[in-house]
Chains A and B, each alone.
Chain A
Amino acid sequence: METNTVDSKNIYYPPGGILMWIIIFLELITFGIALVFMAVSAREEPETFHASKMLLNSTYGAINTIFLLTSGFFMAKTVQFFKEQKISKASFFLKLTMLGGILFLALKGYEYDDKIRDGLTLSFNTFFAYYWMLTLFHLIHVVVGLIILGTIQRSMAKDHKKLKLEDLEASAAFWHMCDLIWLLLFPMVYLIF
C-alpha cells in the first residue's frame, strides 16, 4: 500500500490531483453555464417556470441531497481510514459511500417514473427540458462515480497494497464533485423559480 504524502500546498498537487481538479472546474463551469441559461429562460417565461417547479417534489430533492452529503461524509472517512492503514474500516465505509449513491439513484429513478407517468417529459415545456437534461447529465456522473468506486473497492478487497492513495483520493474527488454539482442543481431546479 502506497501512502506517500505529497505537499498539498504545492499548486501542482491539490488533494485528488491537478488533472482531477481541472476536470472538476470544467464540469462546474459547464453546469454553471447551463444553469445561467436556465435562469435566463426563467426570466422569459416566469409563469411556466413557477408552475412547472410546483410540479416537482422538493422533498425528493432534499432527501437526495442528504443521501449525497452522507455518502460524501463516508467517502471522506474512507480516505482517512486508508491513510491510517485501517483497511477493513476503509472498505466498509467505501461500501457505505456506494450505498448512498445507489439510494440516490433509486430515489431519482422513482421520481423520473413519477414524472414520466404524469407526461412531464423532456418535450413538455422549457423548464422540463432543463430539468431532464441537467438532472440526467448529473445522474450519468453519479453512475460513472459508482463504477469508479466499484473498481476501487475491488482493488481494496483484492490486494490493498497495490492501491495507491493518489488513486483513492482522485476517485474521492470525482465522487465529491457529484455532490458539488448537485448542491448547485438542487436549489436552481427545485426551489428558486
Chain B
Amino acid sequence: MKNTFLTTWAFLVFFTLMTVFVVDIPFQYTAVPILGLAFLKCIGVAFYFMELKKANLFWKVSLVLFLLVFIAVVLMV
C-alpha cells in the first residue's frame, strides 16, 4: 500500500510531464495522446488514490465508460 501510492504519484507526474512535451510535437492528432494521458491520470487517481479498485465493478465500469464517452465525444466534435 505504501509503495502503491508513491508509485501512482510518480506515474501521474510522469504522465503530466509527458503531456507537456507531447503538445510540442508537430502532429496533426495531438489531441489523441493528450486526452489518452488525461484518461490514464484519471484512472490513476480514481482507482488508486480513491481506492476505486476495491469497489464494486459497477463503479469502476461507470467511471471508465464516462471517461471513454467524454473523450470520444470531444474527439468527434
Contact = CB atoms under 8 A, between A and B. Distances in A.
A39 B31 CA distance: 11
A36 B8 contact: no
Contacts of B62: 25
Given A72-B45, A80-B5, A172 B50 contact: yes
A66 B54 contact: no
B45 A191 contact: no
B50 A58 contact: no
Interface stretch (A7-15, A115-123, A126-134, A159-167): A7-15
Nearest to A35: B74
A192 B16 contact: no
Nearest to B40: A183
Contacts of B70: 32, 35-36, 184
Given A10-B56, A72-B45, A176-B50, A192 B9 contact: no
A183 B55 contact: no
B64 to A, nearest CB: 12
Contacts of B46: 176, 180
* Chain B residues touching A, range: 35 or more
Nearest to B17: A62
Interface string B10-33: 001100110110010000001100
B73 A36 contact: yes
B50 A191 contact: no
A9 B42 contact: no
27 contacts: A8-B51, A8-B54, A11-B56, A15-B50, A15-B54, A16-B50, A25-B63, A25-B66, A28-B66, A35-B74, A39-B73, A39-B74, A39-B77, A58-B20, A59-B20, A69-B13, A69-B16, A73-B6, A73-B49, A176-B50, A179-B45, A183-B38, A183-B41, A184-B38, A184-B70, A191-B30, A192-B31
